Amino acid sequence: MGCHELSWLGRLLLLMQLVDGVFSWGKYGHYAVCKIAEGYVSEDAMGTVRKLLPEWAKGELAAVCSWPDDIKWNYNWHWTSSLHYVDTPNSKCNYNYYRDCYDSSGHRNHCVTAAIFNYTNQLFSAYQGYNPRFNYNLTEALMFLAHYMADVHQPLHVGFIGDLGGTSVKVGWYRRKTNLHHVWDTLIIDTAVKTLYGSDLSAMIQAIQKNITDAWSNDRSSWESCIYNNTVCPNLYASESVRFACKFAYRNATPGTTLQDDYFLSRLPVVEKRLAQGGIRLAAVLNRLMPLQWLDDNQHEVA
Ligand SMILES: *[C@@H]1O[C@H](CO)[C@@H](O)[C@H](O)[C@H]1NC(C)=O
Ligand SMILES: *[C@@H]1O[C@H](CO)[C@@H](O)[C@H](O)[C@H]1NC(C)=O
Ligand SMILES: *[C@@H]1O[C@H](CO)[C@@H](O)[C@H](O)[C@H]1NC(C)=O
Ligand SMILES: *[C@@H]1O[C@H](CO)[C@@H](O)[C@H](O)[C@H]1NC(C)=O
Ligand SMILES: [Zn+2]
């Protein structure tokens, strides 16, 4: 009996791994952004982050960063699915909050940049000990913020409305059929990990980290800063993304094209830089939100 069950379980686990690799910026992208962020979150902010993380994260921020993708299919969380992206009018390579931030039913302030403002404000008001009118779940606020900060850096999460950010642009990726959005969420990263980093995601993350300390060291402070010293500036990140979408994602990727080495090798550096920027900026936001370690007493006061 044991034998039978084991092989069944083995097959199930294998299947889950395969599914994991296909679906689910994908799981690798979110993990990478949060791992990069972890390296730049201050001790004090990390102390607060650990207090907010759910038990199952075991103190690791990167463990929760795909959570909003895992739950969005659930009926109770369906309202969050439009918070992962923002669309611009067809062929418009710029972004404007007032023009673009609404969901498919036309509800304003329902898009990724609004969500980033929302969850930053929730954490800010709780941390400052303001008296919030609602009892926000700050664990959720942290998990959403960490996730959406990465999403807004994926160029096609700020793509054209007519093709749903590249989702309806059917293309080939080497030998398989897929869509352009999925290429940018998942396949460029998966292919890089498999072919250039010995199937080791952490090797890719280390290569990006090395660039942050070497090639991009002079850029870091400009990535971190926001106009008027704001805590977070998602409108800037979204504006960059749609420019990259036009310049790199949509270019030479019309429907029916098969994308191969030329596209992969020229776009990978863009993806790697966006993962770096997402991570650095997530850390910067958390450091600004949580400059001092949050005492439990304090937490009781605001809860
Ligand atoms: C802001 O967060 C609250 C609590 O999670 C939620 O009810 C509301 O819909 C959110 N709005 C946006 C735009 O994210
Ligand atoms: C906060 O949200 C998390 C994730 O949804 C949930 O597990 C937890 O029970 C919530 N906490 C409270 C106090 O509702
Ligand atoms: C590191 O930076 C160089 C120069 O900008 C770039 O060509 C290379 O693709 C980057 N590598 C990674 C892993 O980010
Ligand atoms: C931003 O903060 C820095 C350092 O605290 C300060 O010198 C600068 O004047 C501020 N800029 C604005 C526009 O508030
Ligand atoms: Zn997402």
Closest ligand relative to 68 C-alpha: 5
The answer to whether the CB of 205 falls within 8 A of the CB of 35 is: yes
Pocket of ligand 4 (CB under 6 A): 228-229
Burial of 298 (0-12, 13-18, 19+ CB in 10 A): middle
Residue 260 has pLDDT above 80, yes or no: yes
Using one digit for the tens of pLDDT, what is the confidence trace for 202-216? 999 999 999 999 999
Rounded to the nearest angstrom, the distance between the alpha carbon of 3 and the centre of ligand 5 is 39
Q: What is the mean pLDDT of the chain?
A: 90
Question: What are the tokens at 241?
Answer: 């993304």
**The pLDDT of residue 289:** 94
Domain holding 114: CATH number? Answer: 1.10.575.10
Task: Identify the band that residue 296 occupies on the pLDDT scale cut at 50, 70 and 90.
Answer: low
Task: Name beta bridge partners: 176.
Answer: 173
> Across residues 117-145, what is the average pLDDT?
85
Task: Identify the band that residue 131 occupies on the pLDDT scale cut at 50, 70 and 90.
Answer: low
Phi/psi of residue 40, nearest 5 degrees = -120, 5
Q: Is 54 in the pocket of ligand 2 (CB under 6 A)?
A: yes
Closest ligand relative to 270 C-alpha: 3
Using one digit for the tens of pLDDT, what is the confidence trace for 66-100? 999 999 999 999 999 999 999 999 999 999 999 99
CA distance 17 to 22: 9
Residue among 229, 231, 233, 288 to mutate when testing ligand 4 (max atoms within 8 A of CB): 229
Q: Is 18 in the pocket of ligand 3 (CB under 6 A)?
A: no
Provide the domain count of the chain. 1
For the CA of 137, the nearest atom of ligand 2 = 1
Closest ligand relative to 83 C-alpha: 1
Pocket of ligand 1 (CB under 6 A): 83, 109-110, 114-115, 118, 136
178 Cβ contact partners less than 8 Å away, ≥ 6 residues apart? 170, 171, 172, 187
Residue 256 domain boundaries: 2-302
CA distance 59 to 151: 22
Helix or strand holding residue 17 (H, E): helix 2-22
Using one digit for the tens of pLDDT, what is the confidence trace for 97-118? 999 999 999 999 999 999 999 9
> Across residues 145-151, what is the average pLDDT?
98
Task: Name beta bridge partners: 88.
Answer: 160
Q: How far is CA 148 from the centre of its chain?
A: 5
Q: Is 203 in the pocket of ligand 3 (CB under 6 A)?
A: no
Residue among 118, 121, 125, 144 to mutate when testing ligand 1 (max atoms within 8 A of CB): 118
Phi/psi of residue 100, nearest 5 degrees = -105, -20
DSSP state of 231: S
Residue 303 has pLDDT above 70, yes or no: no
**pTM for this prediction:** 0.90
